[in-house]
Structure formats: C-alpha cells, structure tokens
C-alpha cells in the first residue's frame, strides 16, 4: 500500500484483528455484485469505501423514479440511465482506487461462468428467484462463497453460504426451486427505505469477514430482521444431506 491508501484505510488498519494484513487482503479481492437496487446500493457503497480491489457490477435495468426512495447509488439526474452507469459514477467518485467492471446484462445460468472467473465472493442483491438459484449453483460449482439477502416491507434476511466448508448448506437447502421466476419484489409489496440499507450494509459486513477471515460469519445460519419490533433472530440452517445442488459437491479446506 502507498501512503494515500494507508491514510484512507487507517481506521480499519487500526483494528487489532484487521491491521495491514486485512486491508491487503481486501485490496486483492474481487467481488461480483448482482443487482444494483436497494440492497446492492448499500453493499456496493460500503465495499467500495472499505477498499475491495475489484467490484463487478451486474444489472440490466435502468433508473426509474420509483427507485430513488431506497436505491441510494442513483440520483434524480440518473433517471433513464443504466443502473450500472450511474453506479460506476457514484462509486468512482467515492473511491477511485477500486476497479469497477460494469455488466449491463441480465445474468443467467448460461452466462454466469463468464463473469465469476477469478472472483473471490458473490453477492446476491437480486429480487429474482431464477438468478438466485443460478448464483447458488455457480457458487457450489466454482466453490466461491455467496452472501445472499432479501428485504421486503419492514423485514429482511441474510445468509452466507461457503461451499469450501463441507458442512455449509447452500441456498437451495433453504429454498426449493419450484419454478417461480420472480421473488416477492418491492414493486408488488412495498418496502420501507432503510430496510434495504440495513440488510445491504450487513451484506457488505459479511463479505468483508469472508474475504479477510476475520470474525465469525453466518455460514450455517440465517439472520432475520423484524423492523417493526426492531428485533433480530438467528436461526441454525443445517446442510440438507439430500440437496440436489450441494450434497454431492466436492469440497476443500479453505
């Protein structure tokens, strides 16, 4: 790291279990974020600020007026622009030292392999079940950790899945692929603006822990947030020994 980086990241480097080694691991990391809406906005901002080396930003959508209530990457002047374009502008202004790779297309099972090559972590910030299941399969196949989250109304949930660990469940252990194309999105159910910020920020927190090896992650657990009661619950999430996606997948000690 140069002097500017040491100054920029000094408050993280001061942490006794983070230090320069943790920051160097972040700077060497590459993360794919799928979805630049409410969850992706919060996660991308904090990962950029924290100094992840490379962010691959995937979203096929354009900025709409209804997005601005919660998708804080985008501004009024971005209306009609591709979300990846406005995201790159905002993130580059925040931290020009982070490499940003915009992917303006809908990711699916048949093209994910092109974009996860060399990636250290996957962040599922989508609201689409099809891409969630495709990301999970890609995570298991390529043995790349996945941090997946969802938020609706006043509630949210967060889980981490690490196929490098033999006892880690995958997303399919939690939810079965029943052929539905869309998750219950904000457009049909509504969401309080800070809900996605709370959960998206925690996605960034989990990502940093997985990338640096610091602290205890949510692998094998599911965290639930009830915003009305301002209450949290953490549930144990065991691996499904009959899961068609991860039960027979190879593992290694990571």
Dump pLDDT digits (tens) for 46-58: 999 999 999 999 9
183: pLDDT strictly greater than 50: no
Section 169-194 average pLDDT: 76
Say which residue, 248 or 117, is predicted with more confidence: 117
Q: Does 181 score more than 60 pLDDT?
A: no
Per-domain residue ranges for the chain? Answer: 16-236
pLDDT at residue 194 is higher than 50 = yes
Which one is catalytic: 125, 170, 173, 186?
186
pLDDT over threshold 60, residue 184: no
CATH 3.40.50.1440 is held by the domain 16-236 = no
Verify whether residue 186 is a known catalytic residue.
yes
Beta carbons within 8 Å of 62's beta carbon, 6+ residues apart: 80, 81, 82, 83
Least confident stretch, 109-123, 137-151, 238-252: 238-252
Q: How confident is the model at residue 110 (pLDDT cuts 50, 70, 90)?
A: confident
Across the range 134-144, mean pLDDT stands at 95
């Amino acid at each position: 790291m140069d002097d500017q980086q040491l100054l920029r990241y000094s408050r993280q480097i001061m942490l006794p279990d983070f230090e320069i080694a943790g920051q160097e691991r972040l700077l060497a990391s590459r993360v794919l974020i799928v979805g630049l809406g409410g969850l992706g906005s919060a996660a991308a901002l904090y990962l950029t600020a924290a100094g992840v080396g490379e962010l691959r930003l995937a979203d096929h959508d354009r900025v709409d007026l209804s997005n601005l209530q919660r998708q804080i990457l985008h501004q009024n002047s971005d209306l009609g622009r591709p979300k990846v374009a406005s995201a790159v502008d905002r993130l580059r202004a925040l931290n020009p030292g982070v490499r940003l790779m915009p992917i303006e297309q809908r990711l699916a099972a048949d093209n994910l392999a092109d974009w996860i090559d060399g990636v250290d972590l996957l962040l599922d910030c989508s609201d689409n079940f099809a891409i969630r299941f495709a990301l999970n399969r890609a995570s298991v196949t390529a043995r790349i950790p996945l941090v997946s989250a969802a938020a609706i109304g006043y509630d949210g949930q967060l889980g981490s899945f690490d196929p490098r660990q033999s006892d880690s469940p995958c997303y399919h252990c939690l939810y079965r692929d029943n052929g539905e194309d869309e998750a219950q999105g904000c457009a049909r159910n509504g969401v309080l603006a800070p809900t996605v910020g709370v959960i998206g920020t925690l996605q960034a927190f989990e990502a940093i822990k997985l990338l640096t090896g610091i602290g205890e992650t949510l692998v094998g657990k599911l965290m639930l947030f009830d915003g009305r009661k301002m209450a949290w619950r953490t549930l144990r999430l065991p691996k499904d020994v009959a899961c068609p996606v991860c039960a027979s997948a190879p593992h290694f000690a990571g």
